Chains A and B, each alone.
Chain A
Amino acid sequence: MKDRSLVQIALYAAIFAVLGLLPRFDIPLAGGVPITAQSMGAMLAGVMLGGWRGALAIILLLFVVALGAPLLAGGRGGLGVFFSPSVGFLFGWVAAAFVAGLLMRVLRNQPVFASALVASVVGGIVVLYAFGIVGMSLMTNLSLLDATKACLIFIPGDTIKAVLVALVAQTVARGMPEALLSRSA
């Protein structure tokens, strides 16, 4: 593995952590509802770094969290989070980043905003919730349908985050095109 990839994986794992620990964003569209930015991290890692590196960044983050660092939103961390009902989302982030990165590559001849939006929505919502809902259903003995109901409240917030990620990707593509590693070779 190249040094640069290793550094970028560590960087995005750190960005993911920082997004969860920053003071909460007030996103205007959400009507002032404070939402943590952390679940943007997986979309961002995939869209910016590409599939493999994005997924590795999340794996690194989960590894450090398991070692005992309180790097998840609200200062959560340690082994305890792997026994919580939302554990499916933790592993879902890995798949989310991978799929988002893959889609960025597949759509690399399309406009940045549109392809980043598609990548974020499919990876960061469809794939993520598939993992999250199955995980919740397994952990809580709820049926898949009930687990889906319990997760639905987060979807509007995540849709806004997908739009934000797409905006960020577009701005970065303008300001520093070579930074959008998911689209280069």
Chain B
Amino acid sequence: MISLYLAERTWLHGIPAGWKLIALALISLAMTPLDNLPIMVALNVATLALYASLGRAAMAQIALLRPMWPLFAILLALHWWNGDIRLGLIVSLRILAMMLLANAVTMTTRMDAMMDAIEPVLTPLGWIGLSPRAVALAVAMMIRFVPLLFALWEALNEAYRARTGKRGGWRLLSAFCIQTLRLSHHTAEALAARGGAPRGPRR
């Protein structure tokens, strides 16, 4: 799986995940009510400086925002139509900076560190009988299912191509659903045979 995580260690990697999340939340709360163009420009400059300080691989991730350009164009056009292009610019810059800042946290935090940082927030789930460990199991199972489902789709596609010479596309969906549900039955049985999903909060 392609990851957004930067393997190369930077100074931001060293800061605990919890602090980064809190900082992100605070910046977001502070910036949302502001509609001041110079501040938004400054925020973007600061964000770009942050990326520059993280090295070349981080700068390359800015390109991930490319699919967003049409949306920004529509946004600016609609604000311009309403006669307030300045507001359009402010809003676009705010969204741009916040997305980049949030991505900087993702880029420099391992998924397991993020999971550990979030775990205290999951504790209330225990009160309704859902163990945080069951959540962790579901996360792990989901991540494991993704490549498995890809392989399953490829197998169905190959079989379809062998029969018809064409790509299956949406025609494979029903077969895919049935096959995946069968897969889920086997997984559930295997899980039950090993004692089932964790229930209690204790390890």
Contacts and interface: CB of A to CB of B under 8 A. Distances in A.
B149 A146 contact: no
A7 B180 CA distance: 11
Interface residues of A, number: 61
B153 A69 contact: no
B142 A172 contact: no
B29 interface: no
Given A68-B5, A68-B109, A85-B75, A76 B130 contact: no
B142 A14 contact: yes
A13 B5 contact: no
B95 A68 contact: no
B97 to A, nearest CB: 9
Given A37-B170, A164-B170, A172-B177, A3 B197 contact: yes
Contact of A85 (B81, B95, B118, B170): B95
Interface in B158-203: 169-170, 173-174, 177-178, 180-185, 187-188, 191-192, 196-197
Given A85-B95, A150-B75, A78 B180 contact: no
Contact of A6 (B95, B99, B137): B137
B159 to A, nearest CB: 16
Interface stretch (B7-15, B37-45, B51-59, B66-74): B66-74
Interface string B114-151: 11001000000000011000110111011101101110
A144 interface: no
Contacts of A13: 138, 142, 145
B100 A80 contact: yes
B142 A60 contact: yes
A15 B4 contact: no
Contact of B141 (A10, A70, A85, A150): A10
A110 B99 CA distance: 45
Nearest to A170: B174
Nearest to A23: B167
A84 B75 contact: no
A82 interface: yes
B58 to A, nearest CB: 13
A15 B149 contact: yes
Contacts of B180: 11, 15
A106 interface: no
Contacts of B174: 167-168, 171-172, 175
11 contacts: A1-B134, A27-B169, A60-B139, A69-B1, A76-B64, A84-B68, A84-B99, A139-B91, A140-B75, A149-B78, A179-B178
Interface of B: 1-5, 24, 28, 35, 64, 67-68, 71, 74-75, 78-79, 81-82, 87, 91, 95, 98-103, 105-107, 109-111, 114-115, 118, 129-130, 134-135, 137-139, 141-143, 145-146, 148-150, 153, 169-170, 173-174, 177-178, 180-185, 187-188, 191-192, 196-197
A-B complex: 10 closest residue pairs judged by Cβ atoms: A78-B106, A14-B145, A171-B174, A79-B102, A83-B98, A10-B141, A80-B103, A4-B188, A80-B99, A10-B142
Interface of A: 1, 3-4, 6-11, 13-15, 17-18, 21-22, 25-27, 37, 44, 48, 60-61, 63-64, 66-71, 74-86, 139-143, 146, 149-150, 164, 167-168, 171-172, 175-176, 179
